[in-house]
Amino acid sequence: MRNYILVGCDLHTKSMQLSVGRNAEEPESRRFGTTPEARQKLIGFLKARAAEAGADEIVFAYEASAFGYGLYDDLREAGIRCDVLAPTRLERSAKDRKRKTDKADARRLLEVLRGHVLAGNKLPTVWVPDRQTRADREVVRARLDLAQKCGGIRTQIGSLLKRRDIWSPSGVGRTWSRGYQDWLVGLTEPGSELDDGTRQGLLHLLRELSFYEQEIERSDEEVSCLAKSDRYAESVAELCRLNGVGELTGMVFLTELGDLKRFRNRRSVANYLGVVPTSNESGEKTDRKGHITHQGPWRVRRMLCQAAWARVRTDRRERAWYDRLAERNPKRKKIALVGSMRRLGILMWHRALEVQERREKSAKAED
């Protein structure tokens, strides 16, 4: 039987609480910091512990969080096996939720890891992207964050006008059209119908909105440059051939999904995107379907929603499919839209996967 040093880690911004044990033996608790120096001390401690116990392998597990994958990288470079677990897929009893401490959380992760290593239980891991994919994600996500901030400021401007009972004239056009924006700028001029306080508040929001719109233009250039790189150019070009899919949508899809070969089939893609219905079956009750799971990357779902609407408007076949599904339940047309999102996501996966396999085959031929 192989000997293991098993480690469950409750990771926080400034500290790591460890539960360390050899095989099924009673574990010990240790605490380390999270700085690069502290992580090297942790690695030294684990290797010394493994040498003392005559262990064949060190297996480390912690939950995915906003902390990122720096700890994962350090452990793998040191030759330590590391698994990053999905918090939403870890079962917690009512007792665990009422008695939540760092030591208890680390011990719980250790027991989950033991069940996997010693008994073969399934481990709820997340896929860890390579460093280049993580860097590319930051570029694309920054663009999406800017759009969210612009939307928030526009909402603030609308709320300001509503509070002051100010309504746009009929001749300025639709909300946030060029005419509407010119009308807003006119409200900030001295002598407008606004009082000084409201005018200053509106002027501040418009300046803030202008700043973020300029940042969006710069970010679009960065995303476009990334999309034209050798890593993404062929895949983005293939995805953009689909009605409703643009460069940004393609880049969000590719950077968030990463290695497309990790999905076994279209069902696993739909499950990952969170566009499949929940189910509730118990005893004699039949399988009842509920709302979609909303699991997986929300950024992809948001872009798929926008792309699906554009696709329904511009693609006759997709429009016919959408109308046929919407007619079954006119009061729940969102079901038809989610169906279009799922169809588009799977189609994008097929197209991009073909490009990825073709590139890999070409690279092997050159070697």
pLDDT digits (tens, 9 = 90+) for 128-158: 999 999 999 999 999 999 999 999 999 999 9
- Cα dihedral sign for 231, 232, 238, 239? positive
Measured distance between the N- and C-terminal CA atoms of the chain, rounded to whole angstroms: 40
Three-state secondary structure call for residue 120? coil
With contact defined as beta carbons under 8 Å apart, do 342 and 276 qualify?
yes
Give alpha helix (H) positions in the chain: 36-53, 70-77, 94-98, 102-119, 131-163, 178-187, 196-227, 233-239, 247-257, 266-273, 298-314, 316-326, 333-366
pLDDT digits (tens, 9 = 90+) for 94-134: 777 778 899 999 999 999 999 999 999 999 999 999 999 99
What letter represents residue 191's amino acid? G
Q: With b meaning 16 or more CB within 10 Å and e meaning fewer, what string describes 6-33?
A: bbbbbbeeeebbbbbbbeeeebeebebe
Three-state secondary structure call for residue 63? strand
Residues 6+ apart with CB under 8 A from 194: 164, 166, 187, 188, 202
The angle that helices 333-366 and 316-326 make with each other, rounded to 10 degrees, is 140
Length of the chain (residues): 367
DSSP structural state of residue 260: G
Domains located in the chain, CATH noted: 4-119 (3.30.420.40), 132-227 (no CATH), 233-366 (no CATH)
Q: Please report, in tens digits, the pLDDT of each residue of the chain (367 residues total).
A: 789 999 999 999 999 999 999 999 999 999 999 999 999 999 999 999 999 999 999 999 999 998 889 999 999 999 999 999 999 888 887 777 778 899 999 999 999 999 999 999 999 999 999 999 999 999 999 999 999 999 999 999 999 999 999 999 988 889 999 999 999 999 999 888 888 999 999 999 999 999 999 999 999 999 999 999 999 999 999 999 999 999 999 999 999 999 999 999 999 999 999 999 888 776 666 666 778 888 889 999 999 999 999 999 999 999 999 999 999 888 888 999 999 999 999 999 999 999 999 999 988 888 7
